[in-house]
Amino acid sequence: MVGFLLLVARPVRFGSDRKKTSLPSRTVNYTLMSNPLGNVAEDPKIILLYVKTRYQPVIEKLSTLRGCPEVKCRLTTNQVYLPNSSAVMFAANFLRLTTPPPRHKDQVWILHNHESPQRHWVGKRSIWLPSWKNVFNWTFDYRTDSDIPAPYGVLQARNDTIDKDYSAIFKQKKGTIAWMVSNCAGDSKRMDYVKDLMKYVQIDIYGACGNLKCPRSDDLACFQMLSSKYKFYLSFENAFCKDYITEKFFTFYELDFILITRGGVDYTKHAENNTYINAMDFESAERLADFVKHLANNETEYTGFLKRKDKYKAVYEEYVFKENAFSVRRAYRMEAQGMCEVCRRLWDVEKYRKHYDDITTWFNKGTCYLPP
């Protein structure tokens, strides 16, 4: 499988103490990187993805960083660069090595994670082995208390105005609620909740957990179909965890329907009220269904949600996985800014020197819980 990354045309802004940068709208083919020897001559800080996630592409040579190509850091997945790397990253969910690789002087080892610590894999990866517990210096995680926070996405206020015929959008929709899902389990018990909700309102389920299909190889066509046909979409997380708000929210936020959320995050910290519906604000699935049906039959109130929502845009990165030159699926994350932050710290590493005596203590610090 060959990985490609498409940087969506949505600007990512860094903090005020750093240069403001916009991600370019272009596809980066990681097989066409610049000569690694030339990059080494520049004496950059090398960031090695020693154990990468499924969605990160293979980078055999040395690549400039996507969000900040001007900085003196290079990114690679090629383990031959281990002795020369300033930072070595290990994706927690894919780390299955009994013992760590050789560690070289002054390296910063970083635990990378983008998954909620659910029961199906907690305790079953290498970070719970004694040999791995005390090797990490920094964390790179969706959690806001990580050393380098890397959320799935963010919302930004628009500088432009959206011009739409909201009445026409409302009238063309024939479906009520859609849900696209492939993981039928999860600690959030979302399938149980959906089955309860379906007693009171129609829900069309796409993917492995339903009887309708929408190929993952063509997300854009799926999104357009869902947006034109349905008035609501379920943005239900597979776990209830602090800060765990995933692509299920950001990739669908800008479409012409209202998201119904359900998760452990405080959504008011991420989006304006009355631009989405939080299932947890209702005492039962039946009460949620009553409100959904009310909005579905009230054009003024329904389009009010869409108008408020269109004041914002979602910012994230799209990773396209290809097999035999064909797209097979996509993933959505926001890592370019985090990698730039890693680079910035590496050039001032003494200021950020840190060590975790037991990474599992941080990882399992009670950020997740079972839904009420």
DSSP 23-92: --SEEE-TTSPPPHHHHHHT-PEEEEEEE--SSSPP--S-EE-SS-TTSSEEEE--GGGGGG-SEEEEEG
pTM of the model: 0.85
Residue 122 lies in a domain: yes
Residue 329 lies in a domain: no
Q: Which pLDDT belongs to residue 367?
A: 86
12 and 68 share one domain: yes
Whole-number Å distance between alpha carbons of 139 and 352: 12
Share of the chain above pLDDT 90, in %: 70
Which residue type does 299 have? Answer: E
21 and 112 share one domain: yes
- Domain membership of residue 177 as a residue range: 154-315
Dihedral of the alpha carbons of 144, 147, 148, 151, in degrees to the nearest 10: -20
pLDDT tens per residue, range 30-40: 333 333 444 44
Q: Which pLDDT belongs to residue 177?
A: 98
267 and 292 share one domain: yes
Total domain count, the chain: 2
The answer on pLDDT for 327 being more than 70 is no
Cβ of 299: how many Cβ atoms within 10 Å? 14
Are 112 and 143 contacting, i.e. CB atoms less than 8 angstroms apart?
Answer: no
The answer on pLDDT for 83 being more than 90 is yes
The answer on pLDDT for 7 being more than 60 is no
Q: 327: burial class by Cβ within 10 Å (0-12, 13-18, 19+)?
A: middle
Q: Which pLDDT belongs to residue 108?
A: 98
Residues, the chain, total?
372
Would you state the structure tokens that stand for residue 218, as one six-digit string?
A: 């063509």
Residue 324 lies in a domain: no
91 and 131 share one domain: yes
What's the Rg (C-alpha) of the chain? Answer: 22
176 and 131 share one domain: no
Residue 43 lies in a domain: yes
pLDDT tens per residue, range 199-257: 999 999 999 999 999 876 677 889 999 999 999 999 999 999 999 999 999 999 999 99
Cβ of 83: how many Cβ atoms within 10 Å? 12
359 and 278 share one domain: no
Q: Look at the block and give the residue holding tokens 């990354």.
A: 5
143 and 158 share one domain: no
Cβ of 80: how many Cβ atoms within 10 Å? 10
251 and 271 share one domain: yes
Share of the chain above pLDDT 70, in %: 85
Cβ of 142: how many Cβ atoms within 10 Å? 23
Q: Look at the block and give the residue holding tokens 């960031």.
A: 47
Residue 323 lies in a domain: no
Q: Exposure string (b/e) for 37-50, b if CB count within 10 Å is 16 or more?
A: eebeeeebbbbbbb
Residue 220 lies in a domain: yes
The answer on pLDDT for 16 being more than 50 is no
Mean pLDDT value of segment 72-76: 96
- Please give the angle made by the CA atoms of 201, 261 and 223, to the nearest 5 degrees: 80
The answer on pLDDT for 22 being more than 60 is no
Q: Is the dihedral of CA 78, 359, 245, 115 positive or negative?
A: positive
